[in-house]
Amino acid sequence: MTNQSPNHKSRNRQMIGVAVLTLGVACSAEAQTFTKDVAPILYSRCAACHRPTQMAPMSLLSYEEVRPWAKSIKHRVVKREMPPWFADPAHGTFANDASLPQKDIDTIAAWVDRGAPKGDDKDLPPRPAFTEGWSIGEPDVVLAIPEYNVPADGVIPYLYFTVPTNFTTDTWIAGLEIRPGNRQVVHHVIVSVLDPGREAPEQGATRGNVDVIRNQLAGTTPNKPGMMYPPGIGKLVKAGSSLVFQMHYTAIGQAVTDRTSIGLKFARTPPAKQVRTGLALNNRFVLPPGDANHEVRSAVTIGEDVHLISLTPHMHFRGKDFTYTALYPDGRSEVLLRVPNYDFNWQLSYLLQTPRAMPKGTKIECVAHFDNSSRNAANPDPKAEVRWGDQTWEEMMIGFYTFTRDAEQAVDTQGGSGGSGRSNRSSGSVVPSVPVVPLVPVVPSVPLIRPVPVVR
Ligand code: HEC
């Protein structure tokens, strides 16, 4: 009996606790307003894209702008379609994880269910500060291609434009952003560095030099914001280099002009390491017509000790899912990234929370599935047998990754006199495991959805 009493009491207390909690939730839900509860979420998680001059179709800054979209906003966040983020949370942690915490989704949903009230103006947080037109802030230099007249129809092959940097000293790039001149027609852009003295493709040429494409600086699809490299990592552009833009235009039934540019931010101090690109690709697959789940695999073995920075799966419209697994020399294996519902419209890069050591001999294995059936709404032709090709009705299977070489650190700490990172360090340092790079339509770059992630 004596035992029962405290138990009973504690049960009572629990029940009161539950009642109070329920009441608390009800109260705060009742109080959900735009100015107090919703604006802070939209400002920090949506406005980078949803503001004038950026890629999203509407601005989500003021109540007047947001209110007409309330139902659609609820729908998109509850389905986790916005903000765009496709990594399976079961594997890996990513510095640029854009997904909303459940409590923010609940806040938005509750607010919409209650009629999306505005609330008190004095609760409104200050508007986030953005640089007009750029997600990385004001670039140190902006380089643009000549204006190009995009025809109304027809298939436009990849075009190459060369723009001199006019850099008089070797320059470390800390961040960059490609800005399509006309997002409706720019399907993708890859910007590569052409070392001084190398022959440039003619303006508007339809063939680029494979070697040039190998030295990629950045790539974008229209839906991709700019990026900043993690601290201590950068990309070296030698004095006198030019930039080659590989442009993929898609005609929209109306002739328009485009003038795409790239904004570069310079590193204030030379970074310790250069970011490099590798890829595991398979270009020998055949997708049978109607096959809803065709598997394609690729793999690369890492030829020296490196640290992995980011992962960017690339497929076209039939791409369904994509998984990267690391098989370490000691027998362990680890899923690095799984994208269960790949969406061609979002060529996201996944930036590891902390760079992951990949000792020499590690095998990076990629497994992709393609849906070439009529059940895939994005499928341009379910009756076609599909192979590798540049155009979006053809397919690709590439597991891009970026990395730094561990050996580079050693060079720096020993010989880093005067911090002169502006040496020729990039020459002769191609990692043996990287296969010859074909003309690829996208490059891993890290979208800056949240402020520059801190990596170690
Ligand atoms: C990385 C950029 C980006 C971020 C971050 C982002 N959006 Fe979007 N959003 C877009 C783009 C681009 C589209 C148009 C393409 C599409 O509909 O998928 C879009 C479409 C939408 C639509 C549908 C518009 C329509 O035409 O029906 C809604 C609603 C939306 N976003 C809400 C949000 C909300 C709410 C957030 C933050 C919680 C958010 N988005 C974050 C880029 C972004």
Residues 105, 217: one domain?
no
**Does the pLDDT value for residue 22 go beyond 90?**
no
Q: What is the mean pLDDT of residues 402-407?
A: 92
Mutational pocket test of ligand 1: of 76, 79, 343, the residue with most ligand atoms within 8 Å of the beta carbon: 76
Ligand 1, atom nearest to 447 Cα: 1
Contact predicate 59/50, CB 8 Å: yes
Whether 456 has a pLDDT exceeding 70, the answer reads no
What is the pLDDT averaged over residues 432-443? 28
Tokens of residue 96, six digits = 């640029």
How far is the C-alpha of 54 from the C-alpha of 60, rounded, in Å?
Answer: 11
Answer whether 225 contacts ligand 1 (Cβ < 6 A).
Answer: yes
Q: Is the CB of 61 under 6 A from ligand 1?
A: no
240 lies in some domain: yes
State the distance from the centre of ligand 1 to the C-alpha of 241, rounded, in angstroms: 37
Please state which of the ranges 46-55, 123-132, 262-271 shows the lowest mean pLDDT. 46-55
Q: What is the mean pLDDT of residues 401-407?
A: 92
Distance 379 CA to ligand 1 centre (A): 23
For the segment 55-64, the average pLDDT, to the nearest whole number, is: 91
Q: Determine whether the shortest distance from the Cβ of 444 to ligand 1 is under 6 A.
A: no
Q: Answer yes or no: is the C-beta of 44 below 6 A from any ligand 1 atom.
A: no
pLDDT at 409: 64
* Cα-to-centroid distance, 234 and ligand 1 (Å): 30
Residues 6+ apart with CB under 8 A from 377: none
Band of the pLDDT at 200, cuts 50, 70, 90? confident
Does residue 30 carry a pLDDT above 60? no
Q: Would you say residue 135 lies in a domain?
A: no
49 lines ligand 1 (CB under 6 A): yes
Residues 319 and 260 grouped into a single domain:
no
pLDDT given at position 433? 28
Judgement on whether residues 260 and 279 belong to the same structural domain of the protein: no
Is residue 331 in a domain?
A: yes
Which is more confidently placed, 233 or 143?
Answer: 143
Closest C-alpha residue for ligand 1 atom 11: 56
Q: Which two tokens stand for residue 15?
A: 């029940």
Average pLDDT of span 226-240: 87
pLDDT value of residue 212 = 55
46 lines ligand 1 (CB under 6 A): yes
Nearest alpha-carbon partner for 294 in 200, 363, 368: 368
pLDDT of amino acid 337: 98
Indicate if the pLDDT at residue 448 is higher than 80. Answer: no
Distance 97 CA to ligand 1 centre (A): 16
Edge-to-edge strand list for the sheet holding 306-314 = 276-281, 398-405, 306-314, 350-358
Residue 204 lies in a domain: yes
50 Cβ closer than 6 Å to some ligand 1 atom:
yes
Q: How far is CA 2 from the centre of its chain?
A: 63
- Is the CB of 48 inside a 6 Å radius of any atom of ligand 1? yes
Nearest-atom number in ligand 1 for the CA of 98 is: 5
Q: Identify the bridge partners of residue 160 per DSSP, sorted by sequence position.
A: 205, 246
What is the reported pLDDT for 108? 98
> Given a cut of 90, is residue 413 above it in pLDDT?
no
Q: Whose CA is nearest to atom 2 of ligand 1?
A: 49
Residue 401, pLDDT > 80, answer yes
Protein residue whose Cα sits closest to atom 15 of ligand 1: 56
Q: Which atom of ligand 1 is nearest to the CA of 100?
A: 38
Domain membership flag for residue 191: yes
pLDDT higher than 90, residue 141: yes
Based on the fold, state whether residues 313 and 409 are members of the same structural domain.
Answer: yes
Last residue within a domain, chosen from 202, 233, 266: 266
Domain termination residue (choose one: 70, 92, 123): 123
CATH number, domain containing residue 350: 2.60.120.230
C-alpha 109/C-alpha 103 separation (Å) is: 10
CA of 192 to the centre of ligand 1 (A): 29
- Domain assignment present for residue 448? The answer is no
Residues 413 and 347 in one domain: yes
Q: Are residues 415 and 304 in the same domain?
A: yes
Atom number in ligand 1 closest to CA 104? 38
Distance 328 CA to ligand 1 centre (A): 38
Q: What residue owns the CA closest to ligand 1's atom 37?
A: 46
Is the residue at 449 inside a domain?
no
Looking at the structure, tell me whether residues 242 and 280 fall in a common domain.
no
Phi, psi of 253 (to 5 degrees): 85, 10
Residue 25 belongs to a domain: no
Strand order in the sheet with 294-301: 294-301, 363-370, 319-327, 333-339
Residue with more model confidence, 264 or 223: 264
Residue 15 has pLDDT above 70, yes or no: no
Region 233-257: mean pLDDT is 92
Question: Which residue's alpha carbon is at the smallest distance from atom 19 of ligand 1?
Answer: 56
Q: What is the pLDDT of residue 54?
A: 74
Question: Could you tell me what percent of the chain has a pLDDT over 70?
Answer: 80
- Cβ of 70 closer than 6 Å to ligand 1, yes or no, is no
For residue 24, the one-letter residue type is G
Tell me the torsion sign for CA atoms 231, 232, 235, 236.
Answer: positive
Same domain, 320 and 364: yes
Would you state the structure tokens that stand for residue 131, as one six-digit string?
């640089």
Number of domains observed in the structure of the chain = 3
Residue of 194, 189, 196 lying closest to 211 (CA atoms):
194
Q: 70-78 and 102-113 helices cross at what angle (nearest 10)?
A: 150
Residues 208 and 281 grouped into a single domain: no
* Structural domain range at position 401: 273-419
Ligand 1 atom nearest to CA at 225: 1
Kindly tell me if the per-residue pLDDT of 250 is higher than 90. no
The predicted pLDDT at position 439 comes to 26
Do 391 and 282 belong to one domain?
yes
- Domain end, chosen from 231, 266, 301, is at 266
Least confident of 268-277, 330-339, 370-379: 268-277
Report the pLDDT averaged over residues 266-282: 89
Yes or no: say if 397 and 298 are a contact pair by the CB < 8 Å rule.
Answer: yes
Looking at the fold, whether 254 and 290 belong to one and the same domain comes out as no
Is the per-residue pLDDT at 435 higher than 70?
A: no
Average pLDDT of the segment spanning 74-82: 96
The predicted structure's pLDDT at residue 238? 92
Question: What is the pLDDT, as a whole number, of residue 446?
Answer: 29
At 358, the pLDDT band (50, 70, 90 cuts) reads very high
Beta bridge partners of 262: 143, 178
Please give the backbone phi and psi of residue 320, each rounded to the nearest 5 degrees, phi first. Answer: -120, -50
How far apart CA 110 and CA 336 sit, in angstroms, is: 35
The answer to whether 244 touches 194, Cβ cutoff 8 Å, is: yes
More confident residue, 421 or 171: 171
Among 93-102, 135-144, 327-336, name the most confident range.
Answer: 327-336
- For residues 172 and 219, membership in a common domain is answered with yes
Q: How far from chain centre, in Å, is Cα 221?
A: 10
Q: Look over the chain and give the mean of its residue pLDDT values, rounded to a whole number.
A: 81
